[in-house]
Amino acid sequence: MIRGISSIFTSFNWAHCDGNFLYVVYTHNGLFGNHSYYLNIYDITNPGAPEEIGKIELTGVNSPVDVTVHNNYAYAASPQHLDIIDIQDKTDPFVAGICSGFSNI
């Protein structure tokens, strides 16, 4: 069991576990109804004390519905967008690409 993860998110959307790393996409509800979407990366080598090691604001995704990881990329999807995040350096993830214009992917 991983302790302390769900209590730190305003709105926990999706998570993907890959080895000793947990990738969490969540919504931060700001003032006046403004929403921001983030991908956080946690080292869960010690599940009793997960450590946040990376974080990035998602730029193309609006209302994320899924996150998955393959090789050195995380893919965060919403109904019309896909953010592709380079996670080779998990402490410094960056958006490698955005696909948009889909109809309910």
Residue of 29, 44, 26 lying closest to 90 (CA atoms): 44
Q: How far apart are the first and last CA of the chain?
A: 31
- Domain-located, residue 1: no
Residues 102 and 80: beta-carbon distance below 8 Å: yes
Q: How many structural domains comprise the chain?
A: 1
Residue of 38, 7, 35, 2 lying closest to 20 (CA atoms): 2
98 residue type, one letter: I
Using the structure block, give the residue that is written with the tokens 């302790």: 3
Residue 11 pLDDT > 70: no
- Domain-located, residue 91: yes
- Domain-located, residue 20: yes
pLDDT at 41: 95
* DSSP for 17-50, written as a single string: EETTEEEEEEEEE-GGG-EEEEEEEEE-SSTTS-
- Per residue in 46-78, pLDDT (tens digit) is 988 899 999 998 876 677 778 889 999 999 888
- Domain-located, residue 61: yes
If one compares 78 and 6, the residue with the highest pLDDT of the two is 78
- The Cα 25–Cα 15 span in angstroms is 6
Instruction: Identify the domain containing residue 24 by its residue range.
Output: 6-100
Structure tokens at 58: 């998602």
- Domain-located, residue 57: yes
